[in-house]
A and B are shown apart, each in its own frame.
Chain A
């Protein structure tokens, strides 16, 4: 059974703040839940399914359903790091298509700037079977992604200047977003002159660290037809867990190589038909490799693609991350999946910031990458339409 056109994003909300010393973690989940429900024209009493990931406190969905006062017969705590919220959206759309639920609420919140909870990670990491073989070497998050970048450069001649072009494009979009954490336009030279964190990644190749969060509400056609808000149909979804490949990891691709074709097939569209993309951008290299994996350019050619200005909105070949993305705008709880979907919804509703609104945006793709490209990661791709 295809889920194409069976589920609709009715509400999408990004917390406007990036520094929240005076809000608790549950409060931020509540702030974004209510924001997304209000956007849809719904209330907490309409929700019959709730989804959360490792950023939710306590017992996850169990604690949050109770805290928010929800009445749910369907909950899901799938944890795949930053891509969790796209996986949740896939699961919600599937459950809606099967007729099990009508209104799914998905929330993300975090306080990495103000010490509310450990950022990004899962409490289970210490017990991981791989831990005795991976936690002894000083692998920081940027260090892991640097391993992927170095190998991509080795195999394909990708350069630091090309990676920097991704940050430049994100910053050119963020300058029009009054909520963006970084609003200044940067140049390739400024990226290359920023401190080296882990060769070849500079500080400006890395995403921002922000408090905040976001939420989305996904509904059935029956519910959508009674809402006045423009509801965005889910055309296709796909997810894939890329393992360490039996200990022979290939660092030059991600799970998007598999999640993408599943989503494109279900949506019945090709990469050439995509008007706008939200690409997970924990680091510039994350974007570069994902563009190849999703088929927007040939393997090894993404460096040239981005350096030619393809990602610039509104008139580039493939406008991306028009909110400024995780690289400039927001990466709440060190997890970027939720904000990827939210900006894709804005584009399809023609509600992006006017300077970066893609004209006649009809089909958009949102993509999340969780875990680490250096080890195991989960990719999730969602294709959305302005209409069916």
Chain B
């Protein structure tokens, strides 16, 4: 079944990421001073401390840094088990927490190539919110 999809609540600082998501684009902040690609999205560079940040469209591709197949979990996610929680290392460098979808659970491995897939999400009021950044195996 589909995974629970609760939309994140954007704020003043991270909204370019979510505006990008609405157009199915992966938009990331980059430090204007040292060019570091910042994760998680925010207006401060954790490498040099600059608050001068640009936003750019990233490739949306990467590889699995680590993953786990969750089989037991309390709450709303219990109906979605088994599902894959993962860290994906983007080709631009950051390691982002996410889910791997549209995959064969018996075949998934660290190092597998993956690509972004934005999945519909709803907010607390049941309205459509910014879609969620998940990943699926790259079709070879």
Contacts and interface: CB of A to CB of B under 8 A. Distances in A.
Interface of A: 129-140, 142-143, 146-151, 154, 195-201, 203, 243-244, 246-249, 251, 374-375
Contacts of B73: 138, 140, 143, 197-198
B105 to A, nearest CB: 9
B69 interface: yes
Given A132-B40, A137-B97, A150-B110, 20 more contacts: A130-B40, A133-B8, A135-B8, A137-B85, A139-B85, A139-B97, A140-B73, A142-B70, A146-B68, A146-B85, A150-B66, A151-B110, A154-B110, A197-B70, A197-B73, A198-B69, A199-B68, A203-B72, A244-B39, A247-B40
Given A133-B97, A147-B85, A151-B65, A138 B70 contact: yes
A138 B99 contact: yes
A320 B87 CA distance: 32
Contacts of A251: 65-66, 87
B84 to A, nearest CB: 9
Nearest to A203: B72
A136 B129 CA distance: 13
Contacts of B5: 136
A137 B87 contact: no
B85 A143 contact: yes
A39 to B, nearest CB: 37
Nearest to A140: B73
A143 B66 contact: no
Given A143-B68, A143-B73, A196-B71, A132 B46 contact: no
A138 B77 contact: yes
Contacts, number: 119
Contacts of B69: 198-199
5 contacts: A129-B42, A138-B80, A143-B68, A198-B73, A247-B95
Nearest to A145: B68
Interface in B1-60: 3-6, 8-11, 13-14, 18, 36-42, 46-47
Nearest to B74: A140
A247 B94 CA distance: 5
B68 A132 contact: no
A9 B80 CA distance: 48
Interface of B: 3-6, 8-11, 13-14, 18, 36-42, 46-47, 65-74, 77, 80, 83, 85-87, 93-99, 110, 121, 132
Contacts of B42: 129
Contacts of B121: 136
Most chain A CB within a 10 A radius of its CB, from B74, B80, B98: B98
A249 B87 contact: yes
Contacts of B47: 246
A198 B40 contact: no
A202 B86 CA distance: 18
A198 B71 contact: yes
Given A138-B73, A147-B87, A246 B97 contact: no
Most chain A CB within a 10 A radius of its CB, from B3, B4, B11, B95: B95
Contacts of A198: 68-73, 85
Contact of B97 (A134, A146, A196): A134
A147 B66 contact: yes
Contacts of B85: 137-139, 143, 146-147, 198
Contacts of A138: 3-4, 70, 73, 77, 80, 83, 85, 99
B83 to A, nearest CB: 6
A148 B66 contact: yes
Contacts of B71: 195-199
A195 B72 contact: yes
Nearest to A374: B97
B66 A154 contact: yes
Contact of B72 (A130, A136, A197): A197
B85 to A, nearest CB: 5
> Which 6 pairs, one residue from A and one from B, show the smallest C-beta to C-beta distance?
A247-B39, A132-B8, A146-B68, A151-B66, A138-B77, A247-B94
A387 to B, nearest CB: 44
Contact of B99 (A137, A142, A203): A137
